Amino acid sequence: MPILQVIILALVQGITEFLPISSTAHLALAPWLLGWQDAGLTFDIALHVGTLAAVLIFFFRDWLQVIAHGFGLSYGSDTQLKQNPMLLWLLAAASIPVGVVGFLVKDQAEEWRNPFLIGGMLIAIGLLMWAAERAATGTKNIGGITFADSAVIGAAQALAVVPGTSRSGVTIAAGLFRNLDRASAARFSFLLSTPAIAGAAASALHHLSKQGGIPADMRTPFLLGIAISGLSGCAVIGLFLKYLRTNTLRFFIYYRLVFGIIVIALALFRRPAG
C-alpha cells in the first residue's frame, strides 16, 4: 500500500471521524474519486484503532472520573461530571442500541456503501442538524443528562451504521433536541462513541487474528495509520469542542448539503472503481 495513500486516508479518518460530516462517506469516496483500490480490512482496522486511541487519550481523565463516580468513588475535579454520578450507567445504556443494530446488520452494512445512499444521508442528516439547531435551547450541560436524554441519543447513534450518517452528527443533533448546549452534546457524543468504537475495533481485530494476523507488507501502513489517525483525531476533538463553545453547526450543515449534492451528481455519470 503506497505511503501517500496511507497518510491521506489516515488523515481523512482522524479529521472526519469527530466532525459531523461522516468519516465513512469520506473514506468510501476518497478511493473512488482518486482511483485507488480499496485499502482492505487490515488498514480499516488500523484506522479504527487510531480513532479509539484518540478518544481514550483525549478523554482519559474524564473516563477515570466517570468510572469512579459510577462505582461510588470520589475522584476528579470536573464540576459537570460530579453533578452526574450516574453518567457511566447512562453511557452503558445508551450504547446498547448501536450494539444490537450493529450485530444484526454487520453483514449487510458493507453492501450499503454506494454513493447514492451516502449522498442522500449526507443531505438528510444535514437537514436534521439544521432542525436541531433551530429547536435547541442549550439549557443543560452534561451534568444534567437524564436517562431519557441518553436513550434518545443512544437510539440516534444506531443510525450511524448507515454510511453517510456521521456518528457525531446524528448524536450531537439528538443532544441538541434534548436541549443540551452544543459543547456538552459533542462531549457526550464523543464519550458515547468510545464503547462503540472499542467494540468495532475488538471485533475487527478478532476477525483479523483468525485470518492469520497482520500481513508482513501491511505492518508499516498499519502502525502509521494508527499513529496518524490517532494524533489527528485527538487534535480535531480539542479544536471542535473549543469551536462549539462560541459557534453553531451552520458551517458543517452547509458542507454536508453541498457535499451530498456533489456526490449524487458524480454518481449519476461516474461509477466507483472496482
pLDDT, one tens digit per residue, over 125-183 is: 999 999 999 999 999 999 999 999 999 999 999 998 898 999 999 999 999 999 999 99
Q: Contacts from 271-274 at CB under 8 Å and sequence distance 24+?
A: 272/32, 272/114, 272/115, 273/31, 273/32, 273/35, 273/36, 273/37
In a domain, 16, yes or no: yes
Question: What is the model's pLDDT at position 235?
Answer: 97
Question: What is the model's pLDDT at position 24?
Answer: 84
In a domain, 188, yes or no: yes
Phi, psi values for residue 189, rounded to 5°:
-60, -45
CA angle at 247 for the pair 245 and 251, rounded to the nearest 5°: 140
Per-residue pLDDT of the chain (274 residues; tens, 9 = 90+): 888 899 999 999 999 999 999 988 888 788 777 777 777 767 888 898 999 999 999 999 999 999 999 999 989 889 999 999 999 999 999 999 998 998 888 767 667 778 899 999 999 999 999 999 999 999 999 999 999 999 999 999 999 889 899 999 999 999 999 999 999 999 999 999 999 999 888 888 887 888 888 888 888 998 999 999 999 999 999 999 999 999 999 999 999 999 999 989 988 876 544 4
* Domain, as residue range, for 194: 3-269
Question: What is the model's pLDDT at position 241?
Answer: 96
Helix axis angle, 60-70 to 41-58, nearest 10°: 70
In a domain, 274, yes or no: no
CA angle at 53 for the pair 47 and 57, rounded to the nearest 5°: 150
pLDDT, one tens digit per residue, over 71-92 is: 999 898 899 999 999 999 999 9
Question: What is the model's pLDDT at position 17?
Answer: 92
Question: What is the model's pLDDT at position 37?
Answer: 76
Q: Identify the helix (H) or strand (E) that includes residue 93.
A: helix 87-109
> Is residue 226 within 8 Å of residue 234, measured between CB atoms?
no
Tell me the CA end-to-end span of the chain in Å, nearest whole number: 17
In a domain, 83, yes or no: yes
Helical H runs in 211-272?
Answer: 219-244, 250-269
Beta bridge partners of 180: 140
Q: Identify the helix (H) or strand (E) that includes residue 148.
A: helix 147-157
In a domain, 140, yes or no: yes
> Is residue 188 within 8 Å of residue 180, measured between CB atoms?
yes
Number of domains in the chain: 1
CA angle at 172 for the pair 20 and 82, rounded to the nearest 5°: 130
